[in-house]
């Protein structure tokens, strides 16, 4: 079972941007937010979703796997670090490899930037900045047992499918119990390739 990590509960997000502001205060990247607040159907809905690094585990984080400079390290406890500034060459391989769209390239600095689970805090048992300020609990830091004690009956997913690839993550998503499908399909459905319908 998962240890202490972030659980994302999209149904609780109100788009207040508190997580984005708090992330800017993190000492390792002060002034820049590593969390993205995505609006799923902007203009038609107020639905929003905080996007943090999912800290992929299986077989290894795709961003780290494709880094030609070995700039993205994974700690022994599974946290995928942001690129080491002394090694990153700004090639954007990690940006293209991430199935969740998390890493970004700082064009001025020519460096990759992404959430590292506030490792300067979580390594000492403190919650990440984003989870400490979330007023609705859309970002919950703890164990799955703590989450389920607070929210009885909740289901979580840490395995996602992207086409033929299955990705297991260190951060989990809260999934409505009545809509559970394992593993959880990620991304948008592919319906057409080169003009040919590929729906089954």
Structure tokens at 126: 């403190």
Cβ atoms within 10 Å of 48's Cβ, excluding its own: 19
DSSP letter for 31, please: T
Tell me what pLDDT residue 1 has.
40
Longest CA pairwise span in the chain (Å) = 52
Tell me what pLDDT residue 140 has.
96
Blockwise average pLDDT, block size 10, the chain, 200 residues: 84 93 84 87 85 87 94 92 93 93 89 90 92 95 93 88 87 77 51 43
> H or E element: which one contains 149?
helix 144-150
Q: Which residues contact 189 (CB under 8 A, 6 or more apart)?
A: 199
Tell me what pLDDT residue 44 has.
84
Tell me what pLDDT residue 163 has.
82
Tell me what pLDDT residue 189 has.
43
CA atoms of 86 and 90, how far apart (whole Å): 11
| This prediction's pTM | 0.83
> H or E element: which one contains 23?
helix 18-23
Instruction: Answer yes or no: are the C-beta atoms of 61 and 100 closer than 8 Å.
Output: no
Mark 60-94 as b/e (b = at least 16 C-beta within 10 Å): ebbbbeebeeebbbbeeebbbbbbeeeebebbebb
Tell me what pLDDT residue 69 has.
95
Structure tokens at 85: 């500034």
Report the SS3 class of residue 12: helix
CA atoms of 34 and 102, how far apart (whole Å): 9
Mark 113-135 as b/e (b = at least 16 C-beta within 10 Å): bbbbbbbebbeeeebbbbbebbe
């Amino acid at each position: 079972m998962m240890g202490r990590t972030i659980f994302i509960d999209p149904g609780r997000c109100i788009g207040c941007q508190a997580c984005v502001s708090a992330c800017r205060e993190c000492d390792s990247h002060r002034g820049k937010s590593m969390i993205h607040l995505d609006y799923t159907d902007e203009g038609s809905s107020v639905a929003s979703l905080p996007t943090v690094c999912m800290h992929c585990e299986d077989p290894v984080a795709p961003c780290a796997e494709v880094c030609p400079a070995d700039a993205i390290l994974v700690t022994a406890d599974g946290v995928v670090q942001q690129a080491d500034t002394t090694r990153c060459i700004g090639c954007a391989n990690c940006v293209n490899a991430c199935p969740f769209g998390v890493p970004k390239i700082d064009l001025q600095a020519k460096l990759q930037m992404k959430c590292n689970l506030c490792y300067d805090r979580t390594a000492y048992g403190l919650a990440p900045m984003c989870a400490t300020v979330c007023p609705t609990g859309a970002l919950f830091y703890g164990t799955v047992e703590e989450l389920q004690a607070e929210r009885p009956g909740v289901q979580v997913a840490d395995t996602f499918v992207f086409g033929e690839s299955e990705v297991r993550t260190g951060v989990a998503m809260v999934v409505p119990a009545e809509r559970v499908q394992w593993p959880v399909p990620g991304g948008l459905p592919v319906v057409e390739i080169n003009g040919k319908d590929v729906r089954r």
